[in-house]
């Protein structure tokens, strides 16, 4: 109860920090927020050429398939990276004034979430171009999108706690992220792996479950409930562990930064 009250009192600061993240991201660039549309669109073009045309894979809707995966993955990777650095980055503030420390990683996740939300609008013109039309399943994209937030929150809280004490975690996480990326089926179809005996690696990667469900909803299929459950289990589990670890260790942060 006490915590909720403090949170409510400090919502102004949380909002300021979120605003700062968004504002500073594109400051001094000519196209500004337009980059949120352009950047994913351009990378999709590159990936489509490389994996679709050169390697001869994918059909007409392949660009939409790639863009979904890439946007969700890059939200996960950018936010977790930003959150794990956030405590150290704001150390000058933390050393001076008492502020609930979870506001720093939380704001890094939130501003990236908002930017990703804006970037997702790129899907509209691209879907039209690729003849992917909305169905009744379309609104269900919200389910994996919310699960993605939980997963990212949990991972970020754990990472930001660990990184304060062990800076190596930043570099280790880069490597882990690469593994997560390749097992998330971002630019290939997972069907080929289905019977290979390695499929379980994909299946128990929560990010893969989230991305696939997002695509199912986009392409007019029902969600895979097993994937929803796996992602939710990870999301809730990591969030509980992350919040607990952060809460237990936050008073020692100041001694380590």
Partner 1 sequence: MGKKTLVVENVGMKFNLSQEKVDDFKEYFIRLFKGNLKYNEFWALKDVSFTLEEGDRLGILGLNGAGKSTLLKVIAGVFKPTEGKVTRKGKVVPLLELGAGFDKNYTGRENIYLYGSLLGYSKQFLDKKYDEIVKFSGLGKFIDVPVKNYSSGMRSKLGFSIATIAEPEILILDEVLSVGDANFRKKSEKKIRDMMEGGTTVLFVSHSLPQVERICNKAMILEQGKIVAFGPVEEIAQVYTDMLDKDEDQEIMELKRERRQLLQKIRARREEIKEEKKKQEE
Residues engaged in binding partner 1 (CB under 8 A): 9-10, 12-13, 15-17, 20, 23-24, 27, 92-99, 165-168, 172, 251, 254-256
Q: From CA 73, how far away is CA 143, in angstroms rounded? A: 16
- Nearest approach in angstroms of CB 30 to partner 1 is 17
Distance in Å, CB of 188 to partner 1, minimum: 33
CA 88 – CA 85 distance, rounded (Å): 6
Distance CA 101, CA 243 (A): 12
Q: Which is nearer to partner 1, 100 or 237 (CB)?
A: 100
Question: Residue 167 or 192: which CB sits closer to partner 1?
Answer: 167
Decide whether 60 or 167 has the Cβ nearer to partner 1: 167
Residue 171 or 200 with smaller CB distance to partner 1: 171
Rg of the chain's alpha carbons, rounded to an integer?
A: 19
CB of 161 to partner 1, least distance (A): 13
Question: What gap in Å lies between CA 201 and CA 254, rounded to an integer?
Answer: 38
Least CB distance to partner 1 at residue 32 (A)? 15
CB atoms within 10 A of CB 35: 16
Measure Cα distances from 2 to 7, 32, 159, 242 in Å: 9, 40, 25, 20
Question: Closer to partner 1 at the Cβ: 12 or 197?
Answer: 12
Distance, in Å, from the CA atom of 208 to the CA atom of 148, rounded to the nearest integer, reads 10
95 vs 131 by CB, closer to partner 1: 95
The span from the CA of 254 to the CA of 166, in Å, is 14
Q: Give buried/exposed letters for 136-156 (b at 16+ CB in 10 A, else e).
A: eeeebbebbbebbbbbbbbbb
Residue 252 CB, shortest distance to partner 1, in Å, is 9
Minimum Å gap between C-beta 202 and partner 1 is: 28
**Shortest distance, CB of residue 98 to partner 1, whole angstroms?**
3
Give the N- to C-terminal CA distance of the chain in Å, as an integer: 29
In the complex with partner 1, the residue whose CB is nearer, 43 or 250, is: 250
Residues 22, 117: contact at Cβ < 8 Å? no
């Amino acid at each position: 109860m006490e915590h909720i009250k403090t949170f409510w009192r400090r919502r102004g600061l949380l909002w300021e920090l979120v605003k700062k993240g968004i504002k500073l991201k594109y400051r001094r660039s000519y196209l500004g927020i337009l980059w949120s549309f352009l950047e994913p669109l351009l990378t999709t073009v590159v990936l489509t050429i490389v994996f679709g045309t050169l390697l001869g894979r994918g059909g007409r809707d392949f660009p939409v398939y790639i863009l979904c995966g890439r946007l969700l993955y890059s939200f996960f990777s950018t936010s977790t990276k930003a959150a794990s650095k956030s405590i150290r980055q704001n150390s000058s503030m933390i050393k001076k004034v008492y502020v609930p420390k979870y506001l720093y990683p939380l704001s890094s996740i939130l501003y990236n979430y908002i930017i990703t939300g804006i970037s997702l609008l790129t899907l509209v013109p691209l879907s039209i171009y690729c003849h992917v039309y909305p169905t009744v399943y379309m609104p269900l994209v919200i389910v994996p999108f919310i699960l993605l937030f939980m997963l990212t929150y949990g991972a970020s809280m754990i990472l930001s706690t660990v990184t304060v004490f062990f800076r190596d975690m930043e570099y280790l996480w880069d490597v882990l992220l690469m593994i997560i990326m390749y097992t998330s089926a971002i630019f290939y179809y997972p069907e080929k792996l289905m019977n290979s005996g390695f499929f379980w690696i994909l299946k128990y990667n929560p990010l893969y479950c989230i991305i696939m469900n997002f695509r199912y909803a986009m392409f007019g299929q029902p969600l895979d409930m097993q994937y929803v459950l796996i992602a939710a289990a990870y999301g809730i589990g990591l969030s509980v562990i992350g919040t607990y670890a952060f809460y237990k260790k936050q008073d020692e942060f100041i001694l380590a930064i």
